[in-house]
Amino acid sequence: MTTTRPSISRLSERRQQKPAAGSMEKTTDSQRPFARINFILMAVCLAMIIIGFILMSGPGSSVEGGFNPDIFSTRRIVVGPTVSFLGFLLMAFAIIYTPKSRRTRRND
């Protein structure tokens, strides 16, 4: 079985078609999936989630075989989970949100 080699002219054509390794095309703002405001909103939501988990944390029962009513405090049962849940909901909004400047460009 014989294999055919590509001619030298075809090889040079392939080299000319490929971009150079060091020359990368710049992406414009319209090509990126998220705008700067999306990243800011996601950072705020991540901070809310972390704060909610910190509010839920605390010492457990310190008495061996005893009961510590602090594990049922309002901060740990209501406030912490609410802050975390709102952080997760707002994170979904931050991902989906499209700034007005991008909305008008897409409609054009």
Give pLDDT tens digits for 11-50: 556 555 555 566 678 877 667 788 889 899 999 999 999 9
Give 19 or 96, the one with higher predicted confidence: 96
Nearest to 92 by CA among 56, 49, 50: 49
| Non-local CB neighbours of 60 within 8 Å, separated by 6+ positions | 68, 71
pLDDT at 9: 63
User: How sure is the predictor about 108, in pLDDT bands with cuts at 50, 70 and 90?
Assistant: low
What are the respective helix, strand and coil percentages of the chain, to the nearest 5?
65, 0, 35
Least confident of 4-8, 14-18, 102-106: 14-18
Whole-number Å distance between alpha carbons of 81 and 25: 45
